[in-house]
A and B are shown apart, each in its own frame.
Chain A
Amino acid sequence: MVENRPILSVVSHLVLILGVVIVALPIWITFVASTHDAVRMTQVPIPLLPGSHFVENFKETLFGTGLSSSAGAPVWRMLLNSMTMALMIAFGKISISLISAFAIVYFKFPFRMGFFWMIFITLMLPVEVRILPTFEVVANLGMLNSYWGLSIPLIASATATFMFRQVFLTIPDEMLESARIDGAGPMRFFWDILIPLSRTNIAALFVILFIYGWNQYLWPLLITTDSDMTTIVVSIKQMLEAAEQSPKWNIIMMTALLAMIPPVFVVVAMQRLFVQGLTETDK
């Protein structure tokens, strides 16, 4: 703050509080809806203060079939699917990007730049622009309705490779020289020096990629036809459709709440790493 302007400070706080309220309003309404019974949620106006059915709705959502008309898998199963997919994507992206960045920065070999540009191209081909042919490839490989099909096609990553390349380039050359004098081979150097030195970058990237993986929508929607493989994020859409016949908004909103808790928790709990990951990957 440059000068003391009490009125402006009060206005600043008011604007920020208003901003927080607007940003938080949807989540509050969702939370409130998940604490009432189905009957109350069909009466206008809908409540703005929490009710007393939270635990009941929680149990029904998690272990019941959710909405009877959607005939889907229980919600705990979908949460498990989402968690598996998100972790596989995050681990997969980080592992293959680490080793390919290592190869590109620390080895001189024919076609090195060719490989680099091939990885770069993936940045320009999001799933959305190659929907049908990618689906065909995955179908031909027999990977529909499997965790492999959900994660493998998404784990190629130009941004992660670039980020690790950037990190490795800042590591002094003397590190490698002294490691070699001490008799370390390439893989020893990778495990004992590069990985420990890039630990915070890996953690920051993990936070971003976990959220990315958890929130995937189009891809799981295409390749999971078996309801046992549906992810929680995809199931919301089916529930919204079912809501037109049986408006059990308390259950739908409880499911929405469960679907957003893991990634939101990650952002809030690991805020510093999250901010670092966000600014690093988009540079």
Chain B
Amino acid sequence: MLKRVHFPASALPYLLVAPQILITVIFFIWPASQAVYQSFLIEDAFGLSSEFVWFENYQVLWDDDQYFDTFWRTIVFSVCVAVLSMGAALILAAFADRVVRGATAYRTLLIWPYAVAPVLAGALWVFMFNPTLGIFPYMLDMVGIDWNHYLNGTQAMMLVIIAAAWKQIAYNFLFYLAAMQSIPRSVIEAAAIDGAGPMRRFKDFIFPLISPTTFFLLVINAVYAFFDTFGIIHAVTQGGPANSTTILVYKVFNDGFIGLDLGGSAAQSVILMFLVITMTVVQFRYVERKVEY
């Protein structure tokens, strides 16, 4: 990765990497190592002294049913968000790929939610689902469904899933559309000549050919649902009612900043770090084989 023709060593390259490296060390590596260190400590109730306890904080998490519930909930949440938004994006991209006239207009109209901050997406949807004012509870009431996500945990979960999936449709759509447009026309035409109808072509040709994109998007959506949806949860439900929408990231924030349980929060951070590292490795190992657009 070094250029064959390059400059000789001097002080200059060190000066050039210095800003990036300084920020990385001060704001990334040092805090992360602090998190690892703190995860082995327990502070007393007044924060005056702390004791080195090895893996006790992890042991506490391991024995904590609530933590397992949170873990499981995060996975359910991520799978629902990924399936919902990737499914919708796949359908829209398949039809957009067919349309000759107006394809770019549709694209423009479908991609802008990417620019909406997660917390704003949450605000828009919580307004539409406001139990007294919202348009959807009003309509649901007509068919006899009583909507109140402040009291009903399942409904609260559905609301944050919808808000999170809505925001991500744009991203998935763009990548699916690009993948479909990169399939050589001749392949699809040959299939058509052999008598494969549109459904058959989608099922047996287009979908298998874009599977690398599907895999890539699965990883990206999992990372998004795990980490970037904090704003939605924080604005819409604050993890409630009764923890029914508390996901892992929200729990780290809540235990650390609100509950001030430093050791426990740090141990959770370290577990999250391992998750991110795993996902990044998976992404880098397999994305290399991704189709070229």
Closest residue on chain B to residue A208 by CB atoms: B114
- Asked if A123 and B280 sit within 8 Å, CB to CB, the answer is yes
Contact of B115 among A8, A133, A263 (CB under 8 A): A263
- Residue B208 at the A interface, CB < 8 A? no
A104 near B99 with CB under 8 A, answer no
Q: Is the CB of A130 within 8 A of B35?
A: yes
The interface-forming segment of A65-73, A196-204, A265-273 is A265-273
Given contacts A99-B16, A156-B28, A217 and B135 within 8 Å (CB-CB): no
- Contact pattern, B 120-159, Cβ under 8 Å of A = 1, otherwise 0: 1101111110001111001000000000000000000000
Selecting from B45-53, B61-69, B228-236, the interface stretch reads B228-236
What residues on B are CB-neighbors of A263 within 8 Å? 115-117
Contacts A2-B188, A23-B110 given; indicate if A103 touches B13 (C-beta within 8 A): yes
Residues of A near B96 (CB, < 8 A) are 12, 16
Measured CA separation A108–B6 after assembly (Å): 7
Contact across chains for A237 and B235 when beta carbons are under 8 A apart: yes
Is the pair B9, A129 in contact by a Cβ cutoff of 8 Å?
no
Partner of B119, one of A42, A132, A236: A236
Instruction: Pick from B1, B91, B262, B287 the residue with the most CB of A within 10 Å.
Output: B1
CB-CB < 8 A to A108: which residues of B?
Answer: 2, 6-9
Judge whether B124 and A256 touch: CB under 8 Å: yes
Interface of B is mostly: helix
Say if the beta carbon of A155 comes within 8 Å of chain B. Answer: yes
User: How large, as a class, is the contact surface on chain B?
Assistant: 35 or more
Q: Which one, A16, A96, A247, A256, contacts B23 given CB within 8 A?
A: A96
Within 8 A of B (CB), among A24-40: 24-27, 29-30, 33
Number of interface residues of A (CB under 8 A): 107
A221–B257 Cα distance when bound, in Å, is: 11
Taken together as a complex, chains A and B put the C-alpha atoms of A215 and B231 apart, in Å, by: 10
- The smallest beta-carbon distance between B235 and chain A, in angstroms, is 5
Query: CB < 8 Å: which of A97, A118, A130, A267 contacts B114?
Result: A267
Contact B119 A9 (CB under 8 A): no
Q: Is the CB of B115 within 8 A of A249?
A: no
* A278 CB contacts on chain B under 8 angstroms: 114, 171, 174
Q: Are B30 and A271 in contact (CB under 8 A)?
A: no
Contacts A237-B119, A279-B178 hold; do A128 and B272 have CB atoms under 8 A apart? Answer: yes
A218 within 8 A of B: yes
CA distance A85 to B144 in the complex (A): 47
When chains A and B are docked, how far (Å) is the Cα of A29 from the Cα of B120? 13
Q: Is B80 an interface residue (CB 8 A)?
A: no
- In the complex, B21 has a CB within 8 A of chain A: yes
Contact call A23/B35, Cβ cutoff below 8 A: no
Q: With the chains together, A136 CA to B287 CA distance in Å?
A: 36
Residues of B within 8 Å of A173, CB to CB, are 3-5
B162 to chain A, nearest CB (A): 10
Known: A16-B95, A237-B119, A237-B231. 4 other contacts (CB 8 A): A110-B9, A124-B273, A132-B265, A132-B266
What would 17 A/B residue contacts be, using CB atoms closer than 8 Å? A9-B98, A12-B96, A19-B88, A41-B133, A99-B17, A119-B21, A126-B227, A129-B227, A129-B270, A129-B276, A133-B266, A153-B27, A237-B119, A237-B231, A259-B117, A275-B174, A283-B287
Q: Contact residues of B with A, CB < 8 Å?
A: 1-10, 12-14, 16-17, 19-21, 23-32, 34-35, 38, 88, 91-92, 95-96, 98-100, 102, 106-121, 123-128, 132-135, 138, 166, 169-171, 174-175, 178, 185, 188-189, 192, 198, 201, 220, 227, 230-231, 234-235, 249, 252-253, 256-257, 262, 265-266, 269-270, 272-273, 276-277, 280, 287, 290, 293
Interface, chain A (partner B; CB < 8 A): 1-3, 5, 8-9, 11-13, 15-16, 19-20, 23-27, 29-30, 33, 41-42, 44-46, 48, 95-97, 99-100, 102-110, 112, 115, 118-119, 121-126, 128-134, 136-138, 152-153, 155-157, 161, 165, 168-169, 173, 176-177, 180, 186-187, 211, 214-215, 217-218, 221-222, 233-234, 236-237, 240, 247, 249, 252-253, 256, 259-260, 263-264, 266-268, 271, 274-275, 278-279, 282-283
